[in-house]
Amino acid sequence: MLEMIVQRTNEEIDRREEGNVENRPSFCKNVDIVELKAFIGLLYFAGLEKNNHTNLGDLWSPEFGYNLYRAVMTERRFQYLLQNFRFDDKNTRDARIEEHALAHIKELWDAFIANCKRYYSPSTNCTTDDQFLGFRGRFGARVYIANKPDKYGIKIVTCNNVQTPYLIDAEPYVGKVETARGESVPSYYIKKLTEHIQNSGRNVTCDSWFMSIKIVQEMKDNYSLTMVGTWRKNKPKIPGTFTQSAAAGTVRIAYADGMTLLSYCPKRNKVVLLLSSLHKAGRMDEKIGKPEIVGFHNATKGGIDTFDELCKNYTTNRTTKRWPMRLFFGMLDRAGVNSAVLYNLREANPTLARHTFLKELVHGLIKPCLEQRL
């Protein structure tokens, strides 16, 4: 992946500096693997210190900045690399855009997701949901979500492990989705994102957007995956009484075709519907005083929210108008969380808090470059 970035970035630098070979300034030279790692290390360091949106002049300032930035590279060099970062062959981009809207970064994204799958075996329970990358630049499938802190951005549909949480698979939303004939968009995403765990007997917890009787049945019968999730009240085949308000604590249960439908009133005038192909009975969980399905759903639905929070805590994201760079920053954030999970799962390694792990990561990325500059 790094070699890919080095090649495409150098191609962009050569295009930009064409005709200026003899008088090319030192900060306009081509990049190599060592310097690229150091550049990424500085992005992680900026996120670690919560100054990823701080003006570059202040970060490199002798009075107010950090010695580490100046030790690794000059401000002009860092800014130049930011401007020229590229991830694909510009000469063939137009043709590839006809095939996929993410042509600018798709090869790198696919390689990243392949690595996420390769180095981790998920636990029994996984979850699917949306993540949101705040972005106000031009992007064909930019979405608006009123209740998000960043109201405009790029939506990514993801599948995460519940226990750790670890990113297993993800696909950015690009607008129109090419589905099979008669297949819904939610069905496309749930099948695509669970490819790595299909026929394994695992469970996937979802929100109501993914849930339907057809999808739940198909995932169980064809892919040996059970599903648990909330169900919208306007769906067909729901008994009329299941959507009616009742006293707090009221539980109503229906069974059909290996699925369990639960209607639960956590408080008066509120009804929650849950559909499950994992649970065979509507037993109560005495510890929490709620139906077992409710407790299971609440315990397994938050994996992506936790993962998203971890990404944002030390995000590498810098202000940019280029959507491929926004996705790249998002990849770095997700790689940072996943790599920390993998590190801590290895028995030979001492368990590290994420802040400490990122410090070690930054040191490992920038050290070779510092040694070269001595």
Q: What percent of the chain has pLDDT over 90?
A: 74
Say which range, 10-14, 24-28, 58-62, 321-325, has the weakest mean pLDDT: 24-28
Question: Phi-psi bin for 224: left (phi > 0), alpha (psi -120 to 50), beta?
Answer: left
CA–CA gap between residue 161 and residue 205 (Å, rounded): 10
21-50 pLDDT, tens digit each:
677 888 999 999 999 999 999 999 999 999
CA–CA gap between residue 226 and residue 171 (Å, rounded): 21
278-318 pLDDT, tens digit each:
998 888 888 888 999 999 999 999 888 899 999 999 999 99
> 216: Cβ–Cβ under 8 A, 6 or more apart, which residues?
227, 259, 275, 277
Cα distance from N-terminal residue to C-terminal residue, the chain: 28
69-122 pLDDT, tens digit each:
999 999 999 999 999 999 999 999 999 998 889 999 999 999 999 999 999 999
Q: 23 or 56: whose pLDDT is higher? A: 56
Question: Phi-psi bin for 204: left (phi > 0), alpha (psi -120 to 50), beta?
Answer: beta
Cβ-based neighbour number of residue 46 at 10 Å: 23
What is the model's pLDDT at position 302?
86
193-216 pLDDT, tens digit each:
999 999 999 999 999 999 999 999
Mean pLDDT score across all residues of the chain: 92
Confidence of residue 321 (pLDDT cuts 50, 70, 90): very high
Confidence of residue 189 (pLDDT cuts 50, 70, 90): very high
Does residue 335 have a pLDDT over 90?
A: yes
Does residue 183 have a pLDDT over 90?
A: no
**pTM check: above 0.85:** yes
What is the model's pLDDT at position 178?
82
Question: Where are the chain's structural domains?
Answer: 2-97+322-373, 119-305
Confidence of residue 3 (pLDDT cuts 50, 70, 90): very high
Confidence of residue 245 (pLDDT cuts 50, 70, 90): confident
What is the model's pLDDT at position 228?
96
Say which range, 157-161, 219-223, 247-251, has the weakest mean pLDDT: 247-251
CA–CA gap between residue 186 and residue 170 (Å, rounded): 14
CA–CA gap between residue 77 and residue 105 (Å, rounded): 23
**Residue 21 DSSP SS3:** coil
